[in-house]
Structure 1
Amino acid sequence: ATHFHHVYWRFDFDIVSPINNIYQIEIGPAGSTEDLISPIINEVTRLRDFSVYRSFIIQNSTSNEAYILSPNLTDGTTDAYGGGDVWFLRYQAGIGGEPAELNDPNTSTAANLAPWLNNESLSNQDSVIWYAGHFTHADTGALINPDRSGDVLSGEYVIGPDIRPLRW
């Protein structure tokens, strides 16, 4: 049987300190000068957009250290159940120190991150990023090739963003 999967990662980047800034990057067509770097200043959700190589920089707010989070082509397309691709939220401590957004009153199994988007400032704040991958799974397909290299993580079910140091 074929069915759809959703996987979510919660990233709490504390780059040198918990206080960071986040920037969205979009690359224009080859040879153009239409590249865009814009700050994400309030809580928001974004869809992946491979046509402009949309990525995100997470940078320490008082220095130059930074990481870049780049989506992969295998990360799929969201649907109504998946709810989105990337959410940028201000960190909120919950009961017992657990992240507040994990205290979800929703009774379904879908990720319920939209209620946490309330336009709080992310400028010079402790922020978290939720990242989702979505993929179709066929029970009889994509068996692991026994001849593959054990040093390489690959395959149609390997999804998720690349996270790399940008300035360190």
Structure 2
Amino acid sequence: PPTTAGFSRDKWDIPLNEITLLEEIGSGQFGVVKRGKYRGMDVAVKMMKEGTMSEDEFIEEAKVMTKLQHPNLVQLYGVCKRQRPVYIITEYLEYGSLLHYLRQKEKTLGSKTDTLIDMCLQISEGMAYLEKEKFIHRDLAARNCLVGSKNIKVGDFGLARYVVDDEYTGSG
């Protein structure tokens, strides 16, 4: 099978038969995200829409994620790359985007200042880690933060870049 640029057969390679696709949980300009199962765990499966970007551009997000490990960043589990479209398999956070969560819980969260401050703190900790690792996210927004039962994580690293000497460079 063809190899995907930047990913050899390694610990990030997940065979397609280990993934079970379930319902769609999101979609955007460049692809679709479905909830799935991998080794008994809920996962998010990101699939590129054909013709929207190059496969190398799509896979760049996963390459960035292999370098980043933090409790407030969405974690990569691996990539299914032996079929088309390629799948990026990540951690699943059950309450979805922070934007959706805030809109849904607007009445109850409005009076919970401590909870809102804690959410901001968790996002800030994820972003501080990115800075320490010399990555710039470039698209931090409520729609790109995901909410779990006990935490919030920064996700969507499609535009993230590694910085050398205060200049943007490709992160691959």
TM category, shorter: under 0.3
Counting helix residues as a fraction of each chain, which structure ranks higher? 2
Q: Which has the higher contact order (CA 8 A, sep 6+)?
A: 1
TM-score, normalised via structure 1 length: 0.25
TM-score, normalised via structure 2 length: 0.25
Question: Which protein has the larger Cα radius of gyration, Structure 1 or Structure 2?
Answer: 1
